[in-house]
């Protein structure tokens, strides 16, 4: 069972600017999170492979291995929550961060309260995902999900999904035939209150369509203009 007590949560701060790293560590300490700092990308990656963390704050520009690369490699073996911390603002970099499997991202300079809210949201979401279905499998047309194993298949072929893509697909499938607004999806899947950035939802819907609808030539995810999205039988 996942604990939501901050005091039990161990956070790795991967940040090569020492002043920022220390600032984050002090702020996290005020919230009763335990944290450690790594300033080198390669060393951070090695450490993530060896130690269990509850969450990783990952800067993008790092010596030896950049944040997107670390995230991609970590995702091959672990679902540990990752928040990308990036100085860049272009949509391309955001998408790259999310596509490499990050759960969320935040752009520098950010308000510490916003980062803390996003961390809480991830832990809340994690706790609530553990209450999701007892059903061993969920089926829609040729799509089958095994929520306990985080696996999805289309026509018996496995689909490679990032954790966030999986969460989104699962949410849509659990609510099939119900039209879900972008705001509601943001709230339920990303766990934060509506912040106006519903583009994130559209980006992830595109990812899912590319991996499901476009691959099998069959429509699963429907857009309801001006409202949101729905998965239909």
**Residue range at the interface with Ca ion (CB under 5 A); choices 50-58, 61-69, 145-153, 208-216:** 61-69
What's the full length of the chain, in residues? 233
31 binds Ca ion (CB under 5 A): no
179 binds Ca ion (CB under 5 A): no
Contact between residue 84 and residue 102 where contact means Cβ atoms under 8 Å apart: yes
The size of the interface with Ca ion (CB under 5 A), counted in residues, is 3
Which of 24, 37, 54, 59 contacts Ca ion by CB under 5 A? 59
**Residue range at the interface with Ca ion (CB under 5 A); choices 57-65, 93-101, 161-169, 205-213:** 57-65
Residue 68 token pair: 């997107």
Closest distance to Ca ion from the beta carbon of 62 (Å): 6
Question: Count of alpha carbons within 13 Å of 64, Cβ hemisphere only?
Answer: 12
Closest distance to Ca ion from the beta carbon of 50 (Å): 23
Helix 199-211 × helix 163-174 angle, to 10°: 90
Closest distance to Ca ion from the beta carbon of 18 (Å): 11
Which of 20, 39, 61, 107 contacts Ca ion by CB under 5 A? 61
| Residue 144 backbone phi and psi in degrees, to 5 | -130, 130
Closest distance to Ca ion from the beta carbon of 61 (Å): 4
Residue 179 token pair: 């039209």
> Minimal CA–CA distance to 59: which of 13, 118, 111, 119?
13
Q: Which residues bind Ca ion (CB under 5 A)?
A: 16, 59, 61
């Amino acid at each position: 069972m996942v604990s939501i007590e901050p005091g039990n949560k161990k956070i790795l701060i991967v940040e090569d600017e020492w002043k920022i790293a220390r600032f984050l560590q002090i702020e996290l300490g005020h919230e009763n999170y335990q944290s450690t700092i790594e300033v080198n990308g390669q060393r951070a990656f090695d450490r993530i492979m060896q130690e269990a963390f509850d969450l990783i704050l990952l800067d993008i520009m790092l010596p030896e291995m950049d944040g997107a690369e670390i995230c991609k490699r970590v995702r091959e073996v672990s679902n540990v929550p990752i928040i990308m911390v990036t100085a860049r603002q272009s949509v391309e970099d955001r998408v790259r961060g999310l596509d490499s499997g990050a759960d969320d991202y935040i752009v520098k300079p950010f308000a510490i309260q916003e980062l803390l809210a996003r961390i809480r949201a991830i832990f809340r979401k994690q706790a609530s995902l553990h209450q999701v279905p007892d059903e061993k499998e969920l089926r829609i047309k040729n799509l089958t999900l095994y929520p306990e194993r985080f696996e999805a298949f289309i026509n018996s072929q496995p689909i490679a999904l990032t954790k966030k893509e999986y969460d989104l697909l699962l949410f849509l499938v659990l609510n099939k035939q119900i039209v879900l607004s972008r705001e509601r999806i943001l709230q339920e899947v990303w766990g934060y209150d509506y912040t106006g950035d519903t583009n994130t939802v559209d980006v992830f819907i595109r990812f899912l369509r590319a991996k499901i609808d476009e691959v099998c030539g069959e429509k699963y995810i429907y857009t309801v203009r001006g409202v949101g999205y729905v998965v239909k039988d």
